Chains A and B, each alone.
Chain A
Amino acid sequence: MLSNYVPILVLAVIAAAFAIGSVVAGVLVGPSRYNRAKVDPYECGIEAPAEPAGPHRFPVKFYLIAMLFIVFDIETIFMVPWAVTFGSLGVFGLIEMVLFVATVFVAYAYVWRRGGLEWD
């Protein structure tokens, strides 16, 4: 019965061998020519701007907008198929959709009342 787990063991061995093998092969085969770009965090051609020291803050507004966008995006994802099949889903579909929209509206009301929609 434990033989069922042999493939998992084999997979683990292959994964480990691949990980170690890649690093070793890179060290052995790759040319290591030093230049300044190599020590940058992201080697993408653009010099990274200096990070301000210590804990710093960035505007949380964009994050809120992104969250709201996802909420309405998901709502649309459900709305469109429902609209297409409205006739055949009938009353059942209407009730379920009203319940769904009502729950989304509760979240919206919370954001609105707590000032999440004010830009400044």
Chain B
Amino acid sequence: MSVVISAAGSGAGPVVAAAATTIDTPSIQYLQLSPVLIVFGVAMAGVLVEAFLPERARQLVQPLLTGGGFIAAFVAVCLLHAHRGVLAAGAVAIDGPTLFMSGTILVFAALSVLLVAERKLDSAGGTLVADASVVPGASGARALRNARGMQTEAYPLMAFSVAGMMLFVASNTLLVMFIALEILSLPLYLLAGLARRRRLLSQEAAVKYFLLGAFSSAFFLYGLALIYGFAGSVELGRIADAANTVGRHDTYLYLGMALLAVGLLFKIGAAPFHSWTPDVYQGAPTPVTAFMAAGTKVAAFGALLRVFYVAFGGLRWDWRPIMWAVAILTMVVGAVIAITQRDVKRLIGYSAVAHAGFILVGVAAANTEGLSGTMFYLVAYGFTTIAALAVVTLVRTGDGEASDLARWQGLGKQKPLLAGSFAFLLLSMAGIPLTAGFIGKFSVFEAGIAGNAVPLVVVAVLTSAIAAFFYVRVIVLMFFSEPTGERPVVVTGSTLTYATVGIGTVMTLLLGVAPQPLLDLANHAAASGFVR
């Protein structure tokens, strides 16, 4: 009996012939996959460190290991910059957008490690709790809150999440993309529940994020199944071929596309799938919020772009109206609801929703300019958001962060430099010239006009004006209002937090004043497009 089982894909690997059966084993290009493998390896090493090192040593070893791993993986991404191709039997695609977004994710993750490793802020040391499993309100919870140390599992969890994000932007088949989605999401659900202060809010955020995230994963999986039913393959390239074939019964295609879009738009935080964003941003520990806001956004947009440009590129006349509608709804919802927010983290959450809408303008443009504009915007937005949330960690009261905006009144007179850099970051989010946010908005709006989406761009400009209102209101609050009631204490952080604020602010300024190198890089990455 001779059975030939052929693994899908290149078949270029070594073929091992046995007596009766032959199985083509796929060749795995370990070198080209090295960035993801390094991060996975670091996560594994992190778990072993958790198992075998004492608490005190873990506090030192984990940040060095994880941060060093992210930097090593970033170097690997840089060394691979010229590589293009489909790897591991068609599972993973290495191309310009993959490398650009992987690098971006790694930089943001390394910055977030600095924030997580900060231990001088809270009197008990660090913003992450020592034992996450204690029920809020239970006896001993208060003692626990002041217990020294932190749940150092946060570092390997971050590394796993980053590995998932990198795989998410690189997946060439929907199945790998789904696995990557789960790898990036599951650690985030746990990380969201690790805040030291306001445990109830944090655990609520974790449960909400988990339930809604699992729900959206189910949407993605159902869409995957329908697409497989339509195309007979989960590879993005083959789906595109099947979709371009005329005369096929395409109900499954449209249903599947819609369900995949729901799963991906949830991760982006686009309306009407945004309701988790403010709650999770508020409840999660602020360093985790920074990591999530910057990293997940890049990863989710990377996957959305790949699915819609590669697999459904031929159907762009069908999905563009939907993207328009979602983009408009997202911008309006984010900008209008943000006006009424009284909590600075919720404000940043709704601002993230609005920004998702602005970035969707680049996606809806469905051209190369849209791709490069989106990638530039993601970099600009990530640096700004991480730095802004780093400032939030510094402004505290006796009972944790002073996230209530009323407490921020008169901060400008108390700490001009800190408030000044926060004001600058808010101006960047509003899109004022000479900031990274302006260049980002300009490039996606330009792409939108080039892609004949003029009405969409008009709405985007109008909502930018609405959004500018609430950013400026915070600046007015900080600099031109007299402090009333209790004033926040701006605690002295260690170099780690200041470095994060500094890097984020300087990058926001640099990308606003001299954006050309990064724009060139994004254009170069986008010009070669997605491989399939």
Question: Which residues of A approach B to under 8 Å, CB–CB?
Answer: 1-2, 4-5, 7-8, 55, 57, 60, 85, 87-93, 103, 106-107, 109-110, 112-114
B21 — which chain A residues lie within 8 A by C-beta? 85, 87-88
Within 8 A of A (CB), among B133-164: 133, 135, 137-138
Q: Are A55 and B137 in contact (CB under 8 A)?
A: yes
Find chain A residues with CB under 8 A from B255 CB. 7-8
Instruction: Tell me the complex Cα distance, A28–B394, Å.
Output: 61
Contact (Cβ within 8 A) B251 A7: yes
Q: Indicate if the CB atoms of A92 and B251 lie closer than 8 Å.
A: no
15 A–B contacts from the bound complex (CB under 8 Å): A2-B321, A5-B254, A7-B255, A55-B137, A57-B135, A87-B18, A87-B19, A87-B21, A88-B22, A88-B23, A90-B16, A109-B48, A110-B47, A110-B50, A110-B51
Asked if B13 lies at the interface with its beta carbon under 8 angstroms from chain A, I say yes
Give the distance in Å from the alpha carbon of A8 to the alpha carbon of B262 in the complex. 14
Measured CB to CB, the nearest residue on chain B to A95 is: B28
Number of B residues contacting the other chain (C-beta, 8 Å)?
28
Interchain CB contact under 8 A, A92 and B16: yes
Please give, as numbers and ranges, the residues of chain A lying within 8 Å of B321 by CB-CB distance.
1-2
Checking B23, B44, B133, B254 against A89 with a beta-carbon cut-off of 8 angstroms, the contacting residue is B23
With A55-B135, A57-B135, A106-B44 already in contact, the answer to whether A88 and B18 are too (CB < 8 A) is yes
CA gap between A103 and B40 in the complex, in Å:
10
Within 8 A of A (CB), among B95-151: 133, 135, 137-138
Interface centre among A4, A93, A107 (most CB of B within 10 A): A4
Most buried by A among B44, B50, B51, B138: B51
Q: How far is the CB of B326 from chain A (nearest CB, A)?
A: 13
A66 to B401, CA, bound (A): 38
Give the distance in Å from the alpha carbon of A70 to the alpha carbon of B467 in the complex: 47
Q: Kindly state whether residue B339 has any CB partner on chain A within 8 Å.
A: no
Which B236-255 residues have C-beta < 8 A from chain A? 250-251, 254-255
Known: A1-B321, A7-B255, A88-B23. 20 other contacts (CB 8 A): A2-B321, A4-B250, A4-B318, A5-B254, A7-B251, A8-B255, A55-B135, A55-B137, A87-B18, A88-B16, A88-B20, A89-B25, A90-B18, A90-B25, A93-B25, A103-B44, A106-B44, A109-B52, A110-B47, A110-B48
Contacts of A60 in B (CB 8 A): 133
Interface positions of B from 1 to 54, Cβ below 8 Å from A: 13-14, 16, 18-23, 25, 44, 47-48, 50-52
Alpha-carbon gap, A110 to B255, bound state (A): 43
CB A81 to nearest CB in B, in angstroms, measures 11
Query: With A and B bound together, what is the CA distance between A32 and B101 in angstroms?
Result: 61
Is B52 a contact of A1 with CB atoms below 8 Å?
no
Cβ–Cβ < 8 Å partners of B254 in chain A: 4-5, 7-8
With a CB–CB cut-off of 8 A, which chain A residues contact B23? 85, 88-89
Least distance between A7 CB and chain B CB atoms (Å): 6
Shortest CB-to-CB span from B132 to chain A, Å, is 13
Q: Mark B309-327, 1 if CB is under 8 A from A, else 0.
A: 0000000011001000000
* Cβ-defined partner of A106 (8 Å) among B47, B133, B135, B258: B47
Smallest CB separation, A4 vs chain B (Å): 5
Q: Which residues of B contact A8 (CB under 8 A)?
A: 254-255, 258
The 7 closest A-B pairs by CB, nearest first: A90-B16, A113-B51, A92-B25, A88-B18, A88-B21, A110-B51, A88-B23
Contacting residues, chain B, for A85 (C-beta < 8 A): 21, 23
Among A57, A91, A106, find the residue whose CB has the most chain B CB atoms closer than 10 A.
Answer: A106
B44–A113 touching, CB < 8 Å: no
> How many angstroms from the CA of A57 to the CA of B135 in the assembled complex?
9
Cα–Cα, bound, A90→B17 (Å): 9
Residues 421-451 of chain B: 1 if any A CB is under 8 Å from the residue's CB, otherwise 0?
0000000000000000000000000000000
- Whether the Cβ atoms of A107 and B25 lie closer than 8 Å is no
What is the CB-to-nearest-CB distance from A95 to chain B, in angstroms, rounded to a whole number?
A: 9
Interface string of B181-201 (1 = CB under 8 A from A): 000000000000000000000
Cα of A112 to Cα of B255 in the assembled complex, Å: 46
Cα A88 to Cα B318 in complex, Å, equals 46
Contacts of B16 in A (CB 8 A): 88-92
Chain B residues near A107 (CB-CB < 8 A): 47
CA distance A93 to B24 in the complex (A): 11
Q: Which residues of A contact B135 (CB under 8 A)?
A: 55, 57
- B51 near A109 with CB under 8 A, answer yes
Contact, CB under 8 Å: B317 / A1: yes
Cβ of B160 to closest chain A Cβ, rounded Å: 11
A112 to B50, CA, bound (A): 11
In the complex, what residue of chain B is closest to A2 when comparing beta carbons?
B321
